[in-house]
Amino acid sequence: MPESIWFRDDDRPRRPRLTRERIVTAAVALLDAEGVAGFSMRALAARLRAGTMSLYEYIRSKEDVFDLALDEVIGEIEPAEAGPWRELLVRQLTQSRQVMRRHPWVPALTATRPLLGPNAVARSRVFYSALADAGLSGATLVAAVGTLSSYVNGFVASENTWWDTVRTPEADAEIRGKVTRHLDDHVGELARHAQVDDGDFDAQFLLGLDLVLDGIATRLPPG
């Protein structure tokens, strides 16, 4: 006679039931590790120790996973506090850059889909409200928001690509030194202007952002 289950403790480990939250958390981790190109529902299921088809009980498609993962990391940008429009936008955009550095796949996805998740909408309201309260409206307001978004996305996409290639600060300094010496030897005037040896991405980002905000400030109504 087979032993009854009631005569023993069944302490075999059980996988916790899937939830949308667990799927999104795993998706973010997989995207961080493999990027958009390396993402698949099969790989996501393996990370969750689940069957691929079981994911579709919670999420309809891979694109839905991307939308949810993107909004999840946008939520890492802290809610804005009240303050002067320029300071508020600098804080928000600096945090946006930090999020895109932690999650290098973000710029590629933000360019391919509307950002309509609750976290994305909340951050968009901050941008539009800050600039509208400062006096912008209509097409100028839309252009200002788009210009700021394009600046941050473009800067971080280039920054991420650079570090994917160069890898270390030591390698960065080495190649900058080689380029500087080459320009000094062949195009001295360009070497003086280009300042290739400046590898401070933080300062470059803030200076470029200041230039963009200076341009927006010229469109504000007097007073």
Show the tokens assigned to 157.
């996409």
What is the predicted pLDDT for the residue at 14? 53
What is the predicted pLDDT for the residue at 142? 97
pTM of the model: 0.84
Q: Are 216 and 147 in contact (CB under 8 A)?
A: yes
Q: Are 191 and 183 in contact (CB under 8 A)?
A: yes
- Where is pLDDT greater, at 9 or 202? 202
Chain segment 71-128, per-residue pLDDT in tens: 999 999 998 777 899 999 999 999 999 999 999 999 989 988 899 999 999 999 999 9
Least Cα distance to 68 among 27, 105, 121 occurs for 27
What is the predicted pLDDT for the residue at 1? 54
What is the predicted pLDDT for the residue at 12? 53
All domains in the chain, ordered by first residue: 20-73 (1.10.10.60), 80-217 (1.10.357.10)
CA distance linking residue 212 with residue 199, whole number of Å: 21
What is the average pLDDT across 118-146?
A: 95
